[in-house]
Amino acid sequence: MDIENIEDIEQKLDLDLKKHNKYKQLLILIVTLLLCFLLKGTIIYHIKFAFAFPNGYENIQINTSQEPQQIDYPDNTINQRIINYESLTERKVISLIPRASYKISALVTAHNSFFPVKDKMFDAAALYDIGLAWGELGDKDFYKKYFKSYTAKNGMFGPRLLWTEMKTTQMPVSEEYAKSHFSHSHLIPATRNIMAALLKIKDFQLVEIEGELVDMQYKEGNKTYSSHTSLSRSDTGLGACENIYVTKLKYRNKIYQ
């Protein structure tokens, strides 16, 4: 084979290689743009809630041994102060009907803010689910020794639930006590700053949450969607979760409002 043929082959190989790299780069660009389009909502979500700024500091230790503080509102005043809540993630206004003032100091046992399939109302307002434990269960070592929890949607379109498993029947507290000292709460952040702070929370850390227990209502055309909050810590099953409109959060000695 002469030198000219070798040079022609090398030039052809070089052109083929450049063409291959060009197609490869184009394919990478297309895949990247496609992923950005598909994950646009998630990207915007994390950018929007990327930074939380404390409104103050408090060095008093969070006391998880105490019971949640709840003051029920009189029935004849419930509809006198409806909150028109503007969703932080969607162009929707959800009516919040306050039922009681509420404050809880607790150990975080589970948390979730990933709800890929949204429903008409609930996921637009209650942006964060949290499992909480207090009393004797509010001690991290105690809880980890006897329980484990996780929270998620029950399937793609099902309700948002908390699963708590007792690791052993040999516990120093009764089953009745245990069930009345952990809860699953759906949190409605009053501000973007509170939501950004919630996203920083880790399991088995302490939080103090203040706000109101609220019913939720959303109207679309002729249809009305609603959700009622629990007003008791001793109920179980569907409907036993608290809908908390969070106006103040304490986490790691920082106050967020």
Quick check: 183 pLDDT over 60? yes
Q: Which pLDDT does position 217 carry in this prediction? A: 95
Per-residue pLDDT tens digits for 107-136: 999 999 988 777 778 999 999 999 999 999
User: What token pair was written down for 225?
Assistant: 């969607």
Strands (E), 172-235: 182-189, 206-220, 223-227
Q: Which pLDDT does position 186 carry in this prediction? A: 97
Q: Measured between alpha carbons, how far is residue 251 from residues 105, 209, 211, 245 in Å?
A: 10, 9, 15, 17
In whole angstroms, give the CA distance from residue 134 to residue 145.
15
Per-residue pLDDT tens digits for 42-68: 677 778 898 999 999 999 999 999 999
User: What token pair was written down for 82?
Assistant: 């409806």
Quick check: 4 pLDDT over 60? no
Q: Which pLDDT does position 64 carry in this prediction? A: 97
Diameter of the chain measured on Cα atoms: 101
